[in-house]
Structure 1
């Protein structure tokens, strides 16, 4: 946005941004009693994915970068797990989760590759 940093051009950064936005969109339809539970958990995890990618890219140490990418990937798994519960509770269905599922898979794969290839 303001800082023209190189990580903002990375595919993983763009995909994780879309993942976060989709998580916000889908959780808007969740019941109001989930406002401070499942909704906030999914949203926090989605932001964690995006923010940890940004912070990891700013680190000069390969070990530090990898750790931030690991945290980010863990948050992807957290989103996946929370949305599975949301689907079981009837808050959303497979059709509604289709785009989000693709973003989850894409983000997970890119992060996994970054963790194994960055030195």
Structure 2
């Protein structure tokens, strides 16, 4: 973030779009880390860390743009790219550590249902559903008259 703010301060005023984009991308990294850290589910944390990784990669692309446009010396651009590559590698490990980076999402049923000889539903351990549930499903609600 500090590196991005120093670079933004150097950019000419005429390149407002580039300044804004670099500022937003750099600010997105710590904000997504903070938001992801507060999530209890690993999948949620990994999603925010992946967004932060993408923002860091965007910062790398913007450093390249600044270098090509002549706003950044080659040595500073290389230092910034080295730092960003380490940050991206860190986020890649964080996302993979949460266990969802390469695993597809699947749905699992917690309980399978089947019917007994009477036609009533039973859970997988063979218990019948309560009569209240069966009655609530079969008896229509009465309408209140005004």
Which 5+ residue runs of structure 1 have no aligned equivalent? 1-19
Following superposition, the deviation at residue 39 of structure 1 comes to: 0.9
Task: Please give the alpha-carbon distance, in whole angstroms, between the structure 1 residues aligned to 2:3 and 2:13.
Answer: 18
2:91 equivalent in structure 1: 111
Following superposition, the deviation at residue 118 of structure 1 comes to: 1.9
Name the structure where helix makes up a greater proportion of residues. Answer: 1
2:22 equivalent in structure 1: 42
Where do residues 75-114 of structure 1 align in structure 2 (5 Å cutoff)?
Answer: 75-114=55-94
1:33 equivalent in structure 2: 14
1:62 equivalent in structure 2: 42
TM-score w.r.t. length of structure 2: 0.64
Which 5+ residue runs of structure 2 have no aligned equivalent? 100-146
Task: Please give the alpha-carbon distance, in whole angstroms, between the structure 1 residues aligned to 2:65 and 2:77.
Answer: 12
Aligned alpha-carbon RMSD (Å): 1.2
Task: Show CA shifts across 1:77-110 (max 9, x none).
Answer: 1111111111111111221224322220111011
Task: Show CA shifts across 1:41-95 (max 9, x none).
Answer: 0111001011101110110011110110111011011111111111111111221
Task: Please give the alpha-carbon distance, in whole angstroms, between the structure 1 residues aligned to 2:2 and 2:32.
Answer: 16
1:23–1:100 contact (8 Å) kept in structure 2: no
TM-score w.r.t. length of structure 1: 0.78
1:72 equivalent in structure 2: 52
Q: Give the structure, 1 or 2, with the largest relative contact order (CA under 8 Å, sep 6 or more).
A: 1
